[in-house]
Amino acid sequence: MAIGCRDEGPEPSSVQMAVAMVTSLATTSDLTPGLTPGRSAPLGASRSGDGVNFSLYARDATAVELCLFDTVDAAEPSACLPLNAEAHRSGHYWHGWVPGLVPGQHYGYRVHGPDAPSSGLRCDPRHLLLDPYGEALAVPRGYDRSQGQQRGERGWANAIKTVVADLDAYDWQGDRPLNRPAREAIIYELHVKGFTAHPSGGLNPDTAGTYAGLIEKIPYLQDLGITAVELLPVFQFDPQDAPAGLPNYWGYQPISFLVPHHGYSSAWRQDGDALAVLDEFRDMVKALHRAGIEVILDVVFNHTAEAGADGPTFSYRGLANRDYYLLDPADPSRYLDVTGCFNTFNGNNPVVRRLIRHSLRHWVQHFHIDGFRFDLASVLARDESGKPVPRPPILWDLDTDPVLAGTKLIAEAWDAAGLYQVGSFVGDRWQEWNGRFRDDLRRFLKGDGAQVAAVSQRLIGSPDIYGPKQREAEASINFITCHDGFTLADLVSYNHKHNEANGEDNRDGSDDNASWNCGVEGPSSDPEIQALRQRQIRNFLALLMLSAGTPMLGMGDEICRSQAGNNNAYCQDNPISWLDWGLLEQHQDIHRFVRELVTYRQRRDVVVDDRAFSLADLLHRNQISWNGVIPGQPDRSDDSRSLALTLTSTSHRFRCALMVNAWWEPLTFTLPEADFGSQCWHRWIDTTLPSPDDIVPWDQAEPVDQTQVELGPRSVVVLITGHQGLISNSDPATMAANRISS
């Protein structure tokens, strides 16, 4: 039997064990070699002198044991150190200092106390609990979610262990968060594994699907013009939290809020080194920063992998269930669920607020993260009873935190229970995923009626949403697709979701996709159908990149990645979700179209001229003129399927005329005056034309001599004009120089 551990015979009740433990601790603690009271701060495991100080918040505990393990797959601890309530407890904090421990030490906690679910109490010493403030985790090869952290026939051999780490030992070589202005941002949402796992990517199998593999693909992101990657969850999550036999691919089931996911580490794959996971992740961040690319993390603070009342216990439930979760007031054995994931994190409880703040500071200070996108962020606007509150403490904590002052904060401003806060999310500097941009543009280009008025607002930064708060246009994160829903290629290929592979009889995933298959459901060899789909893809991409706000591109949309109509591929860790790099050659024309659009977004005279202006200022200074098929006569009636506008840059150096025909027949537009002296309009974009004529560099734009242009069915045309020399100076080298100088 391991030192200090009891023989695991028939388990007495938790109350009996607690009484016995408290009685024994009074005499045992002083006999435990080297264990001293330590201190309650900081929380977690911290190096102190020639040992480690441990501190744990466990409000409901009557006794706590610190269990030390020699290896990740050890079935039994090498020592269980009982923390004496009299000497090792301060308030609700249990703490102790152990000499001789170094980084790499595996540990966990047993917490004794009342196990009374009807009162919201769930202490159970059979579970080995993770440290919420632990800075590294070791996941055994034989990990089994069905056992959670509960002692089984093999003891705790399959349990995840917390690991002592020294985060100051890494050499950042002068790296720091980039703090790039939001006006420059081109965000690319990607999945670390999905971006690099496909065999067509040409990576070594040891690095495919890992942080190291992402480093190898940085040149692709640079060439595309990406300024920030938004990584799907990389907090340590439960990879088995999915329907039987399927993996959790997306990662929206967090176990820890401080530790990078082990499964994306090539070092962990090779030797299971928990500390090497931290270094590989930081190597990735450092490499992206050297390429001028920011790192934004998709973070999940609204629920955990502990799920509902019958879910596994990893940590929070066994430490302070009533603090960490929203419980049903009528039946505290049940969890309030406004997340769709069976539990809801109690974000405005002081204990949880501190953990969330600590987590974000931790990722900024120790991993140099540039920003965070908050999954179902509106959950954090609810109080401890689950009701929305006008000034949620946690959101103002983050909005005003000095450590996070230069960090991008992006909200998915809704939750699964119907709280929709796009445009009204609390705080002064939050950006928001603009779900209305996605929905309105989808319906408009699909050909639905009564959409022109709404789309007109989306193209100019959604002033109807953000204008009342005097927000800058960049507050709107504009997107057409993301991980959740159809890819762009599927958006124009399927009318209905096809999620049979998820094992839920196609019941999962949204039924409201505002998609259109262009006449045939799924793949088609009909040249006309293919051409129409390609044109629609160009239409979406053009409006996304030309709209005021911050554009976000979904992984692989630039090369027509498909998921075969699956709009909820959260459990598809296979080629359905992975990026097939062979598509790059197959769809070079769409890839080139995106690159040219990004080049425009990054022009110095586009992003720099507009600095320091609010959205209202931009709308006034840019002299936006609304047109229809006739200049100055916009048609926003329910029957209209077209719109046009003329926009002059703030410096009055160039002017763009945007015309969109979402109708299924050609339309003739009369052109507004080109102005700028006697210069004429030049055709920059025409989505009806084949590549490379669909979009051209400004210096190659053909003059338009007519006073009218005909737009083909379902097409976008953009004309430009500018002062002498502006268009001729738009070669790629000049663009690159402008990008660097700005």
Q: Which residues are catalytic?
A: 375, 412
Q: Which residues contact 278 (CB under 8 A, 6 or more apart)?
A: 135, 136, 165, 167, 170, 259, 260
Task: Tell me the angle at which helices 350-367 and 316-324 cross, rounded to the nearest 10 degrees.
Answer: 120
Write the single-letter amino acid at 419.
L
Measure the CA angle with vertex 245, ends 243 and 251; round to 5°.
60
* Tokens of residue 125, six digits: 């010493």
Burial of 210 (0-12, 13-18, 19+ CB in 10 A): buried
Task: DSSP for 250-285, please give it.
Answer: S--SBS-SSSB-GGG-HHHHHH--HHHHHHHHHHHH
- The Cβ of residue 627 has, within 10 Å, a number of other Cβ atoms equal to 22
Q: HEC string of 357-382?
A: HHHHHHHHHHHCCCEEEECCHHHHHE
Asked whether 45 and 90 are in contact (CB, 8 A), the reply is no
* Tokens of residue 180, six digits: 């790039």
Q: From the centroid of its chain, how far is CA 47?
A: 32
* Tokens of residue 8, six digits: 């695991």
Write the single-letter amino acid at 376.
L
H or E element in which residue 110 lies? strand 106-112
Give the integer Cα–Cα distance in Å for 541 and 169: 44
Name the DSSP letter for residue 151: -
First to last CA, the chain: 66
Task: Pick the closest to residue 95 from 66, 55, 133, 132 (CA basis).
Answer: 55
Task: Pick the closest to residue 36 from 100, 125, 104 (CA basis).
Answer: 100
- Beta strands 294-299 and 137-138 are unpaired
Asked whether 226 and 210 are in contact (CB, 8 A), the reply is no
Rg (CA), the chain: 28
In the sheet that holds 654-661, the strands lie side by side as 625-627, 642-648, 654-661, 715-722, 681-686, 702-704
- The Cβ of residue 586 has, within 10 Å, a number of other Cβ atoms equal to 12
- The Cβ of residue 729 has, within 10 Å, a number of other Cβ atoms equal to 14
Distances, alpha carbon 227 to alpha carbons 221, 437, 475, 549, 733, in Å: 8, 21, 17, 15, 18
Residue with tokens 């995840």: 160
Phi first, then psi: give them for residue 333, nearest 5 degrees.
-75, -10
Residue with tokens 């789309």: 455
Asked whether 121 and 333 are in contact (CB, 8 A), the reply is no
- Beta strands 667-670 and 681-686 are unpaired
**Maximum alpha-carbon separation in the chain:** 96
